[in-house]
Amino acid sequence: MDRMFKKLFIVFLIISSYSISALAEKVVVFEFTEQEFETLEVRKVRGSNGKTKYSLGMNENGSFLRAEAKGTASGLGKKVKIDLSKTPFINITWKIEKDLKGIDEKSKKGHDFAARVFVVKKTGLTPLSNKAVNYVFSSNNSTNEFWRSPYTKSSIDYVLSTTKDNLNEWVTVKANVKEHFKKLHDLNVEELTGIAIMTDTDQTDIKAISYYQNIYFSSE
Provide the CATH number for the domain around residue 18: 2.60.120.260
193-204 tens-digit pLDDT: 889 999 999 999
Q: Can you give the pLDDT at residue 25?
A: 86
> Domain range for residue 176?
3-218
Q: Where are the alpha helices (DSSP H) in the chain?
A: 3-14, 34-39, 177-185
What integer best gives the mean pLDDT of the chain? 88
CA angle 85, 41, 94 (to 5 degrees): 60
> Total structural domains in the chain?
1
Mean pLDDT of 56-78: 94
User: Which of residues 124 and 61 earns the better pLDDT score?
Assistant: 61
The pTM score is 0.87
User: Which of residues 10 and 101 earns the better pLDDT score?
Assistant: 101
The Cβ of residue 35 has, within 10 Å, a number of other Cβ atoms equal to 7
Given the DSSP bridges, would you call strands 155-162 and 131-138 parallel, antiparallel or unpaired? parallel
Cα–Cα dist 51/46, whole Å: 10
